[in-house]
Amino acid sequence: MSDDPIQDKLDSAADQMQETVKYLRSELNTIRAGRATPAMLEGVKVDYYGSQTPLNQVASVSAPQADLLVVQPFDRNAIDDIERGIMMANLGLNPSNDGSNIRIPVPPLSEERRRELATTARERAEEAKISIRNIRRETKDAIQRTVKKENLSEDVRYGAEEELQEITDTYVERIDTLTERKADEIMEV
């Protein structure tokens, strides 16, 4: 395929699909598996001096043990706001502060909760697959418009559509691999 406008569309589709997979990876990192990770608190927002601020901008988060998270605020005056933000995030965690740090014990997951989290991971993966299929459809339409506008042959169109399908299959496979890995991680006791 040496046609530049069509190759540009295929490259753009691949980039968009790559971004979708990257986003899914970050979403899956926030889903809790058996051990404590700082990524569990990525979505937490803190009411910091009147504005909703991501937790990682007002504190550092570490996991010194498999069942404990420690949050160290950059500003000691914000410790109560940070604790409130963690509670409001509805993660099922009970933070406690000692005046300078917030300690968050991470309880072990029950079998039922593990199944719920694995289902959530699969739902997010399905959303990513839908996004990839939408990118494929939009790119396919753009290829057809380009072929018509540039007066290119049907063979060019079919070749481009085959290549687009190969790109799509590659990214759907990556999503499946990520999801299964995360589901196995969640179900591991």
What residue spans define the domains of the chain? 4-30+110-187, 38-105
Q: Are strands 68-73 and 59-65 parallel, antiparallel or unpaired?
A: antiparallel
Check pLDDT > 70 for residue 1: no
Stated as kind and residue range, the H or E segment containing 39 is none
Q: Looking at the predicted structure, is the pLDDT value of residue 58 above 80?
A: yes
In the prediction, which pLDDT does 113 show?
Answer: 83
Mean predicted confidence (pLDDT) in 66-77: 89
Residue 104, φ and ψ in degrees, nearest 5:
-125, 105
Q: Which residues contact 120 (CB under 8 A, 6 or more apart)?
A: 31
Which one is predicted more confidently, 74 or 188? 74
Same fold, 4-30+110-187 and 38-105: no
Q: Is the pLDDT confidence value at 165 over 90?
A: yes
Q: Is the pLDDT of residue 2 over 60?
A: no
Give the pair of three-digit tokens for residue 74: 């950059």
Asked whether 20 and 132 are in contact (CB, 8 A), the reply is: yes
Phi-psi region of 178 (alpha: psi -120 to 50; beta: other; left: phi over 0): alpha
> Under CATH, domain 4-30+110-187 is a member of which superfamily?
Ribosome-recycling factor (1.10.132.20)
pLDDT value, residue 185: 85
Q: Mean pLDDT over all residues of the chain? A: 89
Which residue has better confidence, 152 or 177? 177
**Phi, then psi, of 38 in degrees rounded to 5:** -60, -25
Those residues with Cβ within 8 angstroms of residue 128's Cβ, 6 or more apart along the chain or in another chain: 20, 21, 23, 24, 175
> For residues 44 and 3, what is the distance between their CA atoms, to the nearest angstrom?
46
Select 38-105's CATH number: 1.10.645.10, 3.90.230.10, 2.60.40.10, 3.30.1360.40. Answer: 3.30.1360.40
Average pLDDT over residues 159-180: 96
pLDDT of residue 3: 47
